[in-house]
Structures are given as C-alpha cells and as structure tokens.
C-alpha cells in the first residue's frame, strides 16, 4: 500500500510541467547540500580540538553536551524556514479503501527522508568516533550516539508539527520566535540552566546507557501529535471551512489612478487575501530588523563592502525579489480571463512596476535609520534602490516569461503547502549575488565609491528607459501568452 | 460576424479540430453540441485566441484574432472557473471587469440590477469571496461578467452545467432576451440538448473535430439532435 502512495508521489513530481524548471532548482539545492555536508564534516573533525583548546579544564564531551541545545534551537528555526512539508493531494485518496491513519503515517514516514535529518550526522559521526569512542565503552558510545540521533528526529517532528500549525495561523511563527527568545533569555541570564540541563542528561546517558529509552519517548510524543493533527485535518469540510464573513477592505480610491490603479488594487487584494503572498509581504517587514544583525559588526572594524550590498538587496529589494520571482504566476489562476479582456499587456506590467517602485522607495526610507550605525547606508541603499528598480525588475520580467507553474491561490490554507520549502528562496539568489559581483567589478575599475556609483548608474539607466523596457516585454509577453496559458493549465 | 477558414488544430499529428469553412451571422445564437473530446472548447479557445490553431484563421468582425487584439473590445467570454478571480467578492469582480470595459459605476449597478432574479439574492452583497461560492453561483458570476458592456460577441462554454433547474430556465430566457435587445452574437455549447435546442437559432453538431450537422432551428430540431446522439442499439431491442 505504502509503495502505491510512494509511486503516486513520484508520478506527481515527474509529470508536472514544473519538472524541467525544478530540475535546475534541484541542481542548485544539490550544490548547497554538498557544501553544507562538507562544512559540517570539517566542523565535526575540528570541534574536539577546539573544545580541548578553549576549555582545557572541562571534559570536552560534557562541554559539547552542554552547548548542543543551542544547535537544536537554531536547527528548529532553520527548519521552519527551509524544510518542506510532506504533501499529498489526499482528496482522491479519502474515498479509497485506505485508512486515514495510513495516509498520515505515510506522510510522516516520507517526511523523515529529509536532508535536514542527514546533515547533523556529518557533524555527529566524527565527534562520536574521535571524541566519545576514545574515552568510553562501546555501549556508552552507542547510546550517546543514539540519544543525539533521537533528539534530531525529535526536532524533526516538532518542526513539522509547528510548521503545520503556523501554516494555518501565521502569527504563530512570531509567537514561536518570541518564545524562543524568552527561553534564550532564561538560559542566558541563568534563571534556569536549560542548556546545561540537557548537557547533564546527555552526560548521564554515557554513564547509564538505558536512559536512551527515556529520551526516545519525546519523538514518539511529537509523532503522535502530528498524527492527531493530520487525522483531524483530513476532512473535506475543512478545506472549504471558511464560511465566515470576510473583512472586505475598500481599495476604490486607487481607481482614481485609472487603469494602472485598478491593477494595483488587484495586486493589493491578491497580497492581502492570499496566504502565500501575504507571508512574503510579512517577510519584507521582518527583514527590516535583519539590518541590526548584519550591520552590527565589531567596533573599530570596517564591514566588508558586500555586507552593504547584501543589506541593500535584502532591506530595500526584498519585496520585489520575493514577490517578483513569481510574476506573473500570481495571476495564473485567471490568466486566460485577463487575456480575453480589453487590457493592454503594458498596463499589466506597468502596474506591477509601479507597485514595486512604491514599496521599494518606502523600504528605502523605513530603513534609512540604519545610517545612524553606518552613514554610508544613505548612499549604498540608494544605489541598491536604483539598481533594484532599474535592473532587477527587468530581470524579473524576463524570468516571468518562462514561468511554468501555476500558483494555486484559490485553495484555502488548510493542507495547502505549495512553496513552503527551501527552493522558493533559490530563485532570488542571482538577484542577490548579481549586484555583489558587479560591485566588485566596478570597484576594480573605479574604487569603492565608484562601485556604488556604477551600480546606481546601471539602475538609473534602467529607470530612465523603463517605458522602453516595459514596451519590449509587453510584446514578448503577448508572443508568449499561449505558452503561458498552456503551462498554467498543465501544472 | 465570425468567419472560420480552413481551421485545423492538431496535437502531435492527431487532428482534434478541422473546420474548413464556417460563417456565423450577426445576431445568431450559435449552439454547439458534441460528445466529450469533440472539440467544442478547443474551438472556443481558438476564437478567443487562447490557444493557437495549427492552420487557418478566425476572423471576428473583420479582425483576424491572431493578428490584432481589437476583437477584445466587442467580445465577452466565460469558459470555465479559471475566468474568475477567486479572492475577490462578486461585486469587486464585476467592478474590475466593468473598469476594463469602461463602464461607469452607475451603469454597472443598473446593469447588475437587471440580473437580480438570476442571482436569486445569493451573489450581490455577500461578504464572501468567489472562491467560497458554490459551483453554480460561480458560474452565474462568470456568465454575467461576460455580458458586461453589452459585447457584440459572447462566448459561453457549457453555461448550463452546474446550474440548478430553475436557473437553467432563467438563463435560457436571459440569453434570448439579451440577444434580441442588443443584437449580440452568441456562441454556446452544452451537453443538455433541451437547453441548447431551446436557446439557439442555429445548431451544429461536432464529432471528432468535424462538423457533421448544421441546421437552423425548427420545431423538430430537438428530436433531430436527440436522434443523432441516441445509441443505435436501442432500436434493436424492440
């Protein structure tokens, strides 16, 4: 039975029109995973020596045990952002002779085969052999290793459980972050030594190997929670549950701006009323705080230039990159309707351009206070704002020409996990790395300030010629419209 | 009004639509029937330039739909629910389409009032997004939106499907009245022979992409069409 379900998942992946594109994503993700695997392996061999060097008076194993909680906390956050949820279109399966519990178990089993569960072992295996095995008996080493492994899977099931929850209520993620921050504070200020507590427990495992069985209760508990959650969601009525009156916001004031305003109103409604674009928009807001992290640096030390470029991209251009990477697929559900209307492709592109411009300029002013930390932010962000509007948007238009996958906005958020994995971040990579490379090229030729001027000038050129660019792309989109319609229909 | 010339649509050398010559006159309610896969939706999609024909052309009011977009000025269409914007309320959707068709606000509300009987109080004034509507109500929204701006050509693919019985009767009358008042040309397909025979002024049967019957409506049209689709084996039983 499970084999059947697995072959269904395989066919779903292979037969979608998205396959070709997702192959590129897969290769990109593949490189990233190799990179991280190697890094973790190197780290795994280096950690024992580092521990002995930095904490000569403490047993390195128990030191490692006492800091491992921090790793799990970070792992949990990364998993929230990156890990994919296992999905299955369960509707056709419900009527078949398959127990709901079987579907739930299948989903959870499939979720275990995940890179995030493999990665930590690259770190743990070398440590087990070099550090633990040399000083402890075989049984103790094995049980320690098992305990760590169990905790990894415990984190896995906790992560997907939380992710399922956050998918239904987005504010949950912020509560989660706040909760972690509280735990961090409790630990940091020594109110309760959480990290040390886990460390002691792991120390005890080395002495009494049977304690592993106790730890094994945790993942079972989270697994059970997951099963309960899935069982409670596998009903059709929950898919169309939202029968309550919607809060309908008025955007008619935008109509005064004519055709373009009407489309901007449509985009705003799209963002506000659909889960996926909404969470992308929220991400933009979260990014404002990210500057505190990357611009902090050490006093007296100059930050490397690429930090400012990256900061500019993320703080000013986050919205255009994350929202733009799916242009025009946001409108894929009713794309053929739009193509039957008396609308000029030009207006369609222009309204997107306007929206992104307004948001980016707003982002520029909101993030301007970072100039208090580094005065140069005033002009580095300005250069990135220009670059973003002048260069990145044409790139977005260009990528959009080849968009293949339909975004299913119409489904309600329950059991709809399209695009919550790592791959959605990948599309933005060239738009983030591009300016960094260009900057260093310009810097070679004209110096540091010249580098920023170069980026800004490129952007300005793009902005000055924006109507030509929009005209060009509207012609291209008209040429491509049949292909876009076909792709959206087949995915 | 609409001329179809040497139209061929093929997928991987398999011809799914082949219409050498077809002219639809102004004011005609053109009914299209045929079994699944006969090519009805394909034909409509080509008329709306949503898919490209392998050969031949569609001329709508003198405009080749592949070459110019001007046909959009006088054409309204509803093919399936992908023509709706799920995250809008019905009013917002009508407002959006009205804006594209350059209808003023007052024009829009008077226009919509004319359909209050058809809507049956379930569409306007509901704080509900279209994606949460039932299939039938979604269809009503789509059909009425296609009629906005009094287009000269209206394309409706299976407008009667998913509608409840009384709405089907209302829709029949609605289409006939609309065509009489505005002189619009309708292209309609459906599987319910009774509906399509009642509403249309000319009936065409498509089979495997080819036109096999083309009859103006008379009193016996329905029987004729029914006879065509009835399995022959039935006669052998008696």
pLDDT digits (tens, 9 = 90+) for A130-140: 888 888 888 88
For residue B163, the SS3 value is coil
Smallest Cα distance from B155 to chain A, Å? 11
pLDDT digits (tens, 9 = 90+) for B71-95: 888 999 999 888 898 888 898 899 8
Q: Which residues contact B93 (CB under 8 A, 6 or more apart)?
A: B84, B85, B130, B141, B145
Number of domains in chain B: 1
Between residues A343 and B7, which one has the greater pLDDT?
B7
CA nearest A400: which of A469, A313, A314? A469
Decide if B29 is inside a domain: yes
Chain A residues whose beta carbon lies within 8 Å of the beta carbon of residue B85: 266, 333-334, 337
| pLDDT for res A382 | 92
Residue A412 has pLDDT above 50, yes or no: no
Alpha-helical (H) ranges within A55-137 are 60-82, 91-94, 100-112, 115-127, 133-135
Interface of B with A in 166-225 (CB under 8 A): none
Contact B17, B43 (CB under 8 A): yes
pTM: 0.74
Between residues A428 and A353, which one has the greater pLDDT?
A353
Q: Where residue A237 falls among pLDDT bands split at 50, 70, 90?
A: low
Contact B84, B78 (CB under 8 A): no
Lowest mean pLDDT among A278-292, B30-44, B158-172: A278-292
Contact A382, A456 (CB under 8 A): yes
Residue B221's domain comprises 2-79+151-237
Decide if B97 is inside a domain: no
Cβ pair A269:B52 closer than 8 A: no
| pLDDT for res A286 | 78
Residue B144 has pLDDT above 90, yes or no: yes
Contact B145, B124 (CB under 8 A): no
Lowest mean pLDDT among A76-85, A194-203, B62-71, B101-110: A76-85
| pLDDT for res B234 | 54
Decide if B48 is inside a domain: yes
Q: Where residue B46 falls among pLDDT bands split at 50, 70, 90?
A: very high
pLDDT mean over A262-274: 85
Cβ pair B49:A339 closer than 8 A: yes
Q: Where residue B175 falls among pLDDT bands split at 50, 70, 90?
A: very high
Cβ pair B85:A337 closer than 8 A: yes
Rg (CA), chain B: 18
Structure tokens at A187: 């630990």
Among B72, B87, B131, the residue with its CB nearest the CB of A341 is B72
Decide if B207 is inside a domain: yes
Structure tokens at A293: 């992290």
Q: DSSP readout, A260-314? A: HHHHHHHHHHHHHHSHHHHHHHHHHHHHHHHHHHHTT--TTSPPPHHHHHHHHHH
Decide if B84 is inside a domain: no
Q: How far does Cα B150 stand from its chain's mean position?
A: 14
Decide if B182 is inside a domain: yes
Give the H or E element holding residue A380: helix A377-387
CATH number at residue B210: 3.40.50.300
Contact A308, A325 (CB under 8 A): no
Smallest Cα distance from B53 to chain A, Å? 11
Lowest mean pLDDT among A110-124, A250-264, A298-312, B207-221: A250-264
In whole angstroms, give the CA distance from residue A248 to residue A273: 9
In whole angstroms, give the CA distance from residue A141 to residue A146: 9
Q: Which residues contact A438 (CB under 8 A, 6 or more apart)?
A: A454, A455, A458
Lowest mean pLDDT among A31-45, A368-382, A399-413, A458-472: A399-413
Residue A174 has pLDDT above 80, yes or no: yes
B83 touches chain A (CB under 8 A): yes
In whole angstroms, give the CA distance from residue B135 to residue B158: 13
pLDDT mean over B136-148: 93
Count of A-B CB contacts under 8 Å? 82
* Distances in whole angstroms, Cα of residue B136 to Cα of each of B141, B165, B171: 9, 11, 12
Cβ pair A340:B50 closer than 8 A: yes
Lowest mean pLDDT among A425-429, B69-73, B131-135: A425-429
| pLDDT for res A257 | 65
pLDDT digits (tens, 9 = 90+) for B182-223: 999 999 999 888 899 889 999 999 988 888 888 888 778 788
B128 touches chain A (CB under 8 A): yes
Decide if B183 is inside a domain: yes
| Chain B interface mutation, best of A265, A406, A410, A485, highest count of B Cβ atoms under 10 Å | A410
ipTM: 0.82
Between residues A105 and B232, which one has the greater pLDDT?
A105
Decide if B138 is inside a domain: no
B67 touches chain A (CB under 8 A): no
Contact A40, A78 (CB under 8 A): no
Phi then psi for residue B92, to 5 deg, are -65, -40
């Amino acid at each position: 039975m499970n084999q059947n379900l697995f072959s269904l998942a395989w066919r779903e992946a292979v037969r979608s029109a998205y396959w070709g594109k997702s192959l590129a994503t897969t290769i990109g993700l593949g490189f990233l995973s190799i990179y991280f695997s190697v890094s973790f392996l190197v780290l795994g061999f280096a950690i024992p020596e580092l521990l002995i060097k930095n904490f000569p008076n403490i047993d390195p194993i128990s030191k490692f045990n006492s800091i491992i909680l921090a790793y799990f906390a970070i792992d949990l956050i990364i998993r929230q952002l990156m890990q994919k949820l296992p999905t299955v279109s369960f509707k056709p399966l419900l009527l078949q002779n398959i127990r709901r519990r079987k579907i739930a178990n299948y989903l959870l089993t499939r979720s275990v085969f995940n890179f995030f569960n493999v990665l930590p072992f690259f770190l743990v295996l070398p440590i087990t052999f070099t550090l633990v095995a040399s000083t402890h008996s075989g049984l103790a080493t094995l049980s320690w290793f098992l305990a760590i492994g169990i905790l990894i899977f415990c984190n896995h099931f906790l992560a997907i459980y939380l992710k399922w929850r956050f998918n239904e209520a987005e504010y949950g993620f912020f509560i989660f972050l706040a909760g972690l921050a509280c735990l961090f504070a409790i630990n940091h200020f020594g109110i309760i030594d959480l990290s040390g507590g886990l460390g002691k427990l792991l120390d005890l495992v080395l002495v009494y190997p049977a304690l592993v069985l106790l730890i094994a209760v945790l993942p079972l508990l989270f697994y059970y929670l997951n099963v309960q959650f899935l069982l409670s969601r596998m009903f059709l009525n929950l898919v169309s549950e939202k029968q309550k009156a919607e809060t309908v916001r008025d955007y008619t004031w935008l109509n005064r701006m004519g055709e373009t305003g009407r489309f901007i109103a449509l985009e705003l409604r799209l963002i506000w009323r659909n889960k996926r674009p909404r969470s992308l928009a929220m991400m933009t807001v979260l990014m404002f705080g990210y500057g505190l992290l990357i611009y902090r640096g050490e006093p007296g030390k100059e930050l490397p230039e690429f930090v400012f470029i990256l900061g500019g991209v993320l703080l000013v251009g986050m919205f255009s990159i994350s929202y733009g990477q799916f242009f025009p697929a946001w409108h894929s559900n009713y794309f053929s309707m739009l193509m039957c209307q008396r609308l000029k492709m030009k207006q369609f592109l222009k309204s997107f351009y306007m929206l992104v411009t307004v948001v980016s300029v707003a982002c520029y002013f909101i993030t301007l206070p970072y100039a208090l930390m580094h005065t140069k932010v005033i002009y580095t962000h300005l250069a990135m704002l220009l670059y973003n509007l002048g260069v990145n948007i044409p790139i977005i238009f260009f990528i959009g020409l080849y968009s293949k996958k339909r975004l299913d906005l119409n489904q309600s958020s329950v059991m709809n996990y399209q695009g919550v994995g790592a791959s959605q971040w990948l599309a933005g990579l060239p738009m983030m790395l591009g300016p960094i490379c260009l900057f260093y090229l310009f810097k070679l030729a004209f110096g540091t300030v010249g580098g920023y001027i170069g980026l800004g000038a490129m952007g300005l050129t793009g902005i000055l010629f924006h109507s030509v660019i929009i005209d060009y792309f509207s012609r291209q989109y008209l040429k491509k419209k049949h292909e876009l319609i076909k792709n959206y229909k087949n995915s | 009004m609409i001329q179809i010339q040497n139209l061929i649509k093929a997928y991987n050398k398999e011809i799914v639509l082949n219409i050498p010559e077809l002219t639809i006159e102004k004011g005609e309610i053109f009914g299209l029937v045929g079994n699944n896969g006969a090519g009805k939706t394909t034909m409509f999609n080509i008329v709306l330039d949503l898919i490209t024909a392998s050969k031949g052309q569609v001329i709508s009011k003198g405009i080749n739909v592949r070459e110019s977009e001007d046909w959009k000025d006088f054409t309204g269409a509803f093919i399936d629910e992908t023509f709706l914007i799920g995250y809008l309320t019905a009013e917002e959707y009508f407002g959006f389409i009205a804006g594209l068709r350059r209808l003023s606000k007052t024009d829009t509300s008077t226009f919509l009032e004319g359909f209050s009987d058809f809507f049956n109080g379930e569409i306007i004034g509901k704080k509900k997004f279209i994606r949460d509507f039932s299939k039938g109500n979604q269809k009503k929204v789509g059909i009425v939106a296609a009629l906005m701006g009094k287009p000269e050509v209206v394309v409706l693919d299976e407008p009667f499907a998913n509608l409840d019985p009384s709405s089907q009767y209302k829709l029949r009358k609605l289409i006939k009245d609309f065509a009489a008042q505005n002189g619009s040309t309708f292209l309609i397909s459906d599987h319910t022979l009774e509906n399509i025979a009642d509403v249309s002024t000319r009936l065409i049967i498509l089979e495997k992409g080819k036109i096999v019957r083309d009859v103006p409506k008379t009193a016996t049209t329905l029987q004729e069409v029914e006879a065509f689709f009835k399995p022959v084996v039935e006669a052998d039983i008696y």
